[in-house]
Structure 1
């Protein structure tokens, strides 16, 4: 029953990517067509063992030197068992490569019947989109495979519908009963308050922070079996997959600290780290060893959060009690030097830059603890930064974020991968146990997901934890009437846009025209804020049908510059702001690293439209030539309706309290610069914080804004300033325009409304009346109010029903 080898430290799901980069989140859900019976061969050559009635992972291996159709079989511990027999693989592999099907395997119970010495039976369950049922069925039949579907008598032998385990004699349990029992166990546990080591932590923790500290310490020190494991007759069994081993599984040391933003998670974590410096009960010899090599915690965060950790360390710990090293910019290459510190602070970008550097000191250390701050950064498991942090070695692993789900339920899979929580860290098991039930039987899937999250995470809200301790926060929507000139222009463009976009709303065309839809929406949003943000030639506002721009460099340059004007464009592969932007000959934009990795795929096609693609069809984006310092000259001196309203609100606030500080958020850096001159003329002292600034510059601006008597207005880029920084010196927040994801806005306003705030906080959202902005707000409410919509949202992509809502289409 045992593998003759260790479970690998490196968990990389890249070889499971039998779907296109977007399919797992695209909303085109695959349904069970049926199953075929076949054999797992070559088992004598591999260490992976199967104990009967067990889920197995089927992983396409297109680069196999002996068989280009190879499909390897892995057990729950990601150890290879063998391969699907060649004759079956030769039929399934092409269908997998064309993304027509996905496959899952279950080894039936063979304990009584026995099996061949070097073969194992397996049921290969085939999933495809409903519209492809006939195509796939015909292809399987043509190739001589016998598909057992729901209309066949043998379908009752399928073990895909439920996964069962034997317990208490002949009682059979379904998967959902297992989840229910685990959920009941979780509910029995109560949070216990724990005081931090006061010889290191000088600040008094709030009650919820003491409870959080108690939970963190419990998760790191408990010797309980991981969730969904039981001990039976001297063996350890995973009750979900039926995998059995005589070796006790390691406890799951770590989890997700998902407390609401502004609840003081950093102080709680510093208190946890402080426990590492407490004297142990071991011998003096052991203590001497620990002095030479401290229990070092590696903290990974965005650049904007670095200053927060430095400040919090100074504010909450006694001088000299904890040592911190900044592994950022100029840094040591000696791992022994890093292990002299209690905390090593670095950024996701720094780790990505060292991914191919084998001598990186970060890789050579098994860290005592690994903390990902603002961990939603890794929400797409396919991104480089997600892969890099998942591959780091550490005894304890923590993902820390106030918004664990930003775009949809699939965000959580990246956390499973990082935490190495088997079997959910394996994509086929995640899809089988969580994502497919969510898509097809939502309530069932949601219950499973909630149980799974409860086993790993702790989340408290401000309302429940800081009741009476934090000043209230009010959110107002200020509807702005466009001027007659703005209204005429807006209505003209929206009418034309509606005609164009309505032609895109069909399953066959939406992905091909996805970039055009984004372009139209971008222009409509810009008119709502200020007409001066749009080009003088209104013909450029509406994109034409996508065409090959390979031989039209000027058109190529215009399109890229056009899309770069907003900070809200994310790479469709990694769902993060683009880095080293690339435009393809079929007019789609990606991060350079993302598209190059995709082109290593044997299909070599655009992930958006399936247009054949090679590296010669990729073009680098032109550099941003906008002025970083001076204000942009506005062709029309008259203020826009929205800017006029904003100035009116700021002046009213200043008249009430001249020292009151305000933060103005916008996604558009160009708009922030355009606001400088009107603010200057109105007598406001202001500062600007945006994505063009490095971490040091951002820290200096935040510090300057905190000074009494200085600037009273901070112009802040939503993406650059929405996470990790403390702006409690302000008590007014203005959103110049709505954002797709309500979680991003909540992150931004909670830079102001958090522990340390002493005044009532007022948030004002400026929304252009009777425009696409109003409909964006409705879309936000759909995401907030409906758990189904929130969990099924396609990873940041705009779905057809969303487009209809935005353009008032039936």
Structure 2
């Protein structure tokens, strides 16, 4: 049964839980304003949330509402509920929102009723993709609502920013004038943080200068008493100048941010220094000096080393910033957070493969017993809050939080943490994923997102981080889309400038190129491979068929609806470039049937769909935008998570979210179990692919040098084992099916420097090995195929090129010439420019983000 599934097994699959949201259906897609409707917010007397004139409001579907399945709740900028959209309006808008045909934003007009008792008007601005405009207009008008669009004289009454900017109002500051003022304030404060030294009786090594600067920045952020960005104090009231929300309660400062230093620059040691510095200044978690074996009940080895000399008092640093505005550089660190329920414990959330990194850093770089840590993971974890409070650091995984998200008695959820650190924090980039919801719900006023790649695919990755940091109003999807995402998606330079200001207010980002830390050089070269005659013939044939299929989708206006099918086609083209053994030779077999077809009566189709899931790490459930779990196939041949599709069928009309065919639970089919690791893969590939031949030649040229071969296809790793063994290479494999203990053992074996049994080649899954591990034993990296997301590749490279590496590092990309792989590289460059721009200063060029046109471009087809 699913409920008894072992937690460790769930976490083995964690690395594959996030893929490219820009290659999926999401609210970040390119949309334009259709017009707006004016409806009422009702039920104000039942909720505590209040709104002001010209205030933005959040509109959130509430499909489980027992009184109205079409309910749309209204939230103010602080996330408090104000009321609901009146039933007549919700009945029209909710079905369109459920199928993502429209995206809505609300704003209260400039002059609401002075003392609204029961209702207040709201303008709901409606956005859609251009091809859906006619259907949206028909649905809204057919539902009895008056749609006010650009050709109406009443359109000028809109309070939406996209309309206000055209009116050039002189009475109210524009959004970009507000952002400019915030940017100027950030510029004034850029040099305020100083280098700090961690306590020597806790942290053993001497920090690099860039780590001392980061420690100063981290401490300053944690103890800031500034108003959050975009808030002002006016006549005793606090006003958010972006949303016009007003309150007499001072907003909480943002005590935390995004620590985004490049990978391999020692962020973990810097964070341990922060914990140590804060403990020595604030008293720590007590005087329990038990050994690690006692703390863990024997499940972690004693770190050993010298005995701690005790604590010392940390120094207090302040600036002369005006106190009347409560803007300070460093405040008294010992002030801490008030409240009896708070602990002095830091929660570190990471993937299981990163546990060993934190433990080794604690053992190698801190004095014994100076920082007490506890592993909240596995079946033996405590259920006692008081036990967790005895430790300085509690380590847990994203999946553990997901499992306990709804458990009110979970000690993780009951604790008020001194700080929460999300290591590899980009893993919560999907705001709707369960682990993202779980970390947002944690209690703790100091919140840190730690990642070397905060922008992986698009700026939309940052929205979920804003939610975790509680950076209002950008933690609400409607505000994020309105102020940042939509301008970016439409190629408006204002969107990038706003994003740059946001990042400057809450993040610290330094790259290896900016810092002089003595790392060996890293070179990247591309090795182009000519496909064999057989491979070229098959590739050209399949690409031509792909063009015909996608062109038909575009002509029929169904390209977006068939997004997953387009992705499947592109996947197969990429697999041919790697090895023809990875995919079937008939691309039409991958297509959904023209008519409703019961896959239970079509074993061949069922087998092909299951094969698609087993062969790759980048297939998403269209509902949660994550790889499907407990996979089901619908009678119309679409793939979903079981929980996702069942929930959707309860909330909406009983139809498939992808093709709108009638659907019920009786028309869902479970997939058969996949094949095991021991399946005979070599027989399916009697002849080595062109890429394998080139790889063997490159490895032979570097024989004796430890190398890592990264591939996104686990089946390819299995196919590589036999020819490498025959060529005399001793290999080990690392992929997402392995337990944390097995992964740690593989890394340890690979790290053995010499000896006849020491492996020289590590065959590694790109995503399962791309974060949190140290592979500095190697100095050559082969990327067997390009990945959509350049950040994922960079993470993999930096497992090798990081602090501790003694040799120059060589990265070799293996790219099939004149294929989709070369066009994937072009797509990567587009994403790199966006990632650089987000952390750059103004003036950077901006292009639109990835859309269906980019996918068509991958197969040389114009959208």
With structure 1 as the length reference, what TM-score do the two structures score?
A: 0.88
Larger mean CA deviation between 782-791 and 681-690 belongs to 782-791
Q: Sort the Cα spacing of 1:41 and 1:274 in 2 relative to 1 into closer, same or farther, 3 A.
A: same
* 1:580 alignment partner in structure 2: 630
Q: Tell me how far 1:103 sits from its aligned partner.
A: 3.4
Aligned partners of 1:291, 1:77: CA distance in 2, in Å? 25
- Once the two structures are superposed, residues 440-497 of structure 1 have per-residue CA deviations (whole angstroms, 9 ceiling, x without a partner) of 46211111111112211111111002x3611111111111122333333333443444
Q: Sort the Cα spacing of 1:565 and 1:133 in 2 relative to 1 into closer, same or farther, 3 A.
A: closer
Residue pair 1:408, 1:790 contacting (<8 A) in 2 also? no
Larger mean CA deviation between 518-527 and 239-248 belongs to 518-527
- Once the two structures are superposed, residues 404-460 of structure 1 have per-residue CA deviations (whole angstroms, 9 ceiling, x without a partner) of 112212111111111111111112222222222223462111111111122111111
- Once the two structures are superposed, residues 23-56 of structure 1 have per-residue CA deviations (whole angstroms, 9 ceiling, x without a partner) of 54462513141343x4433323322223333222
* 1:730 alignment partner in structure 2: 778
Q: Tell me how far 1:262 sits from its aligned partner.
A: 1.2
* 1:58 alignment partner in structure 2: 59
* 1:8 alignment partner in structure 2: none
Q: Tell me how far 1:507 sits from its aligned partner.
A: 6.2
Secondary structure at the aligned position of 2:395 is classed as: strand
- Once the two structures are superposed, residues 701-743 of structure 1 have per-residue CA deviations (whole angstroms, 9 ceiling, x without a partner) of 1111111211111111111101110111110000111111111
Aligned partners of 1:495, 1:56: CA distance in 2, in Å? 48
Residue pair 2:776, 2:805 contacting (<8 A) in 1 also? yes
* 2:668 alignment partner in structure 1: 618
Residue pair 1:298, 1:344 contacting (<8 A) in 2 also? yes
Q: Tell me how far 1:156 sits from its aligned partner.
A: 3.0
* 2:557 alignment partner in structure 1: 508
* 1:15 alignment partner in structure 2: none
List aligned pairs for 1:440-479, cutoff 5 A: 440=490, 442-465=492-515, 467=516, 469-479=518-528
1:387 paired to 2:437: yes
Q: Sort the Cα spacing of 1:358 and 1:685 in 2 relative to 1 into closer, same or farther, 3 A.
A: same
Aligned partners of 1:96, 1:333: CA distance in 2, in Å? 40
Secondary structure at the aligned position of 1:715 is classed as: strand
Q: Sort the Cα spacing of 1:27 and 1:119 in 2 relative to 1 into closer, same or farther, 3 A.
A: closer
Residue pair 1:106, 1:122 contacting (<8 A) in 2 also? yes
Residue pair 1:372, 1:398 contacting (<8 A) in 2 also? yes
Larger mean CA deviation between 408-417 and 553-562 belongs to 553-562
Aligned partners of 2:223, 2:485: CA distance in 1, in Å? 31
Q: Sort the Cα spacing of 1:751 and 1:464 in 2 relative to 1 into closer, same or farther, 3 A.
A: same
1:275 to 258, 274, 277: 277
Residue pair 1:162, 1:174 contacting (<8 A) in 2 also? no
* 2:817 alignment partner in structure 1: 769
1:434 paired to 2:484: yes
Larger mean CA deviation between 315-324 and 591-600 belongs to 591-600
Residue pair 1:520, 1:542 contacting (<8 A) in 2 also? no
List aligned pairs for 1:408-807, cutoff 5 A: 408-440=458-490, 442-465=492-515, 467=516, 469-506=518-555, 508-534=557-583, 538-539=585-586, 542-546=589-593, 548-552=597-601, 554-555=603-604, 556-628=606-678, 632-635=681-684, 637-654=686-703, 658=704, 660-709=705-754, 710-785=758-833, 793=849, 799-807=852-860
Secondary structure at the aligned position of 1:172 is classed as: coil
Q: Sort the Cα spacing of 1:608 and 1:790 in 2 relative to 1 into closer, same or farther, 3 A.
A: farther
Residue pair 2:827, 2:854 contacting (<8 A) in 1 also? no
- Once the two structures are superposed, residues 234-268 of structure 1 have per-residue CA deviations (whole angstroms, 9 ceiling, x without a partner) of 11111111111111111111111111111111111
Aligned partners of 1:353, 1:464: CA distance in 2, in Å? 40
Q: Tell me how far 1:694 sits from its aligned partner.
A: 0.7
Q: Tell me how far 1:579 sits from its aligned partner.
A: 2.9
Q: Sort the Cα spacing of 1:68 and 1:776 in 2 relative to 1 into closer, same or farther, 3 A.
A: closer
Residue pair 1:293, 1:340 contacting (<8 A) in 2 also? no
Q: Sort the Cα spacing of 1:255 and 1:587 in 2 relative to 1 into closer, same or farther, 3 A.
A: same
Residue pair 2:354, 2:772 contacting (<8 A) in 1 also? yes
Q: Sort the Cα spacing of 1:612 and 1:400 in 2 relative to 1 into closer, same or farther, 3 A.
A: farther
Q: Tell me how far 1:135 sits from its aligned partner.
A: 5.1
Aligned partners of 1:438, 1:418: CA distance in 2, in Å? 22
* 1:172 alignment partner in structure 2: 172
- Once the two structures are superposed, residues 100-119 of structure 1 have per-residue CA deviations (whole angstroms, 9 ceiling, x without a partner) of 544333223438x7455544
Aligned partners of 1:451, 1:579: CA distance in 2, in Å? 38
Secondary structure at the aligned position of 2:418 is classed as: strand
Secondary structure at the aligned position of 1:551 is classed as: helix
1:249 paired to 2:251: yes
Residue pair 1:604, 1:614 contacting (<8 A) in 2 also? yes
Q: Tell me how far 1:653 sits from its aligned partner.
A: 0.9
Residue pair 1:409, 1:792 contacting (<8 A) in 2 also? no
With structure 2 as the length reference, what TM-score do the two structures score?
A: 0.83
- Once the two structures are superposed, residues 739-791 of structure 1 have per-residue CA deviations (whole angstroms, 9 ceiling, x without a partner) of 11111111111110111111110001111222222222233233334679998
* 2:353 alignment partner in structure 1: 304
Secondary structure at the aligned position of 1:211 is classed as: helix
* 1:17 alignment partner in structure 2: none
Q: Tell me how far 1:596 sits from its aligned partner.
A: 3.4
Residue pair 2:28, 2:486 contacting (<8 A) in 1 also? no
1:47 paired to 2:94: no
Residue pair 2:28, 2:481 contacting (<8 A) in 1 also? no
Residue pair 2:776, 2:801 contacting (<8 A) in 1 also? yes
Residue pair 2:564, 2:622 contacting (<8 A) in 1 also? no
Residue pair 1:298, 1:371 contacting (<8 A) in 2 also? yes
Residue pair 2:529, 2:690 contacting (<8 A) in 1 also? yes
Aligned partners of 2:731, 2:138: CA distance in 1, in Å? 67
How many pairs are equivalent?
772
* 2:18 alignment partner in structure 1: none
Q: Tell me how far 1:807 sits from its aligned partner.
A: 4.2
Aligned partners of 1:434, 1:793: CA distance in 2, in Å? 12
Secondary structure at the aligned position of 2:785 is classed as: coil
- Once the two structures are superposed, residues 114-155 of structure 1 have per-residue CA deviations (whole angstroms, 9 ceiling, x without a partner) of 455544343333334445555555555566544444344443
Aligned partners of 1:634, 1:144: CA distance in 2, in Å? 64
Aligned partners of 1:694, 1:118: CA distance in 2, in Å? 56
* 2:150 alignment partner in structure 1: 150
Aligned partners of 1:315, 1:771: CA distance in 2, in Å? 47
Aligned partners of 1:244, 1:65: CA distance in 2, in Å? 32
Residue pair 1:292, 1:340 contacting (<8 A) in 2 also? no
- Once the two structures are superposed, residues 349-394 of structure 1 have per-residue CA deviations (whole angstroms, 9 ceiling, x without a partner) of 1111222333212111111111111111111111111111111111
Q: Sort the Cα spacing of 1:241 and 1:473 in 2 relative to 1 into closer, same or farther, 3 A.
A: same
* 1:27 alignment partner in structure 2: 29
- Once the two structures are superposed, residues 266-285 of structure 1 have per-residue CA deviations (whole angstroms, 9 ceiling, x without a partner) of 11111111123215489x99
* 2:76 alignment partner in structure 1: 75
Secondary structure at the aligned position of 1:528 is classed as: helix
Larger mean CA deviation between 514-523 and 384-393 belongs to 514-523
Aligned partners of 2:533, 2:138: CA distance in 1, in Å? 60
Aligned partners of 1:379, 1:469: CA distance in 2, in Å? 32
Residue pair 2:492, 2:846 contacting (<8 A) in 1 also? no
1:127 paired to 2:119: no
Q: Sort the Cα spacing of 1:747 and 1:155 in 2 relative to 1 into closer, same or farther, 3 A.
A: same
- Once the two structures are superposed, residues 607-637 of structure 1 have per-residue CA deviations (whole angstroms, 9 ceiling, x without a partner) of 3333333333322222222334x87333554
* 1:334 alignment partner in structure 2: 384
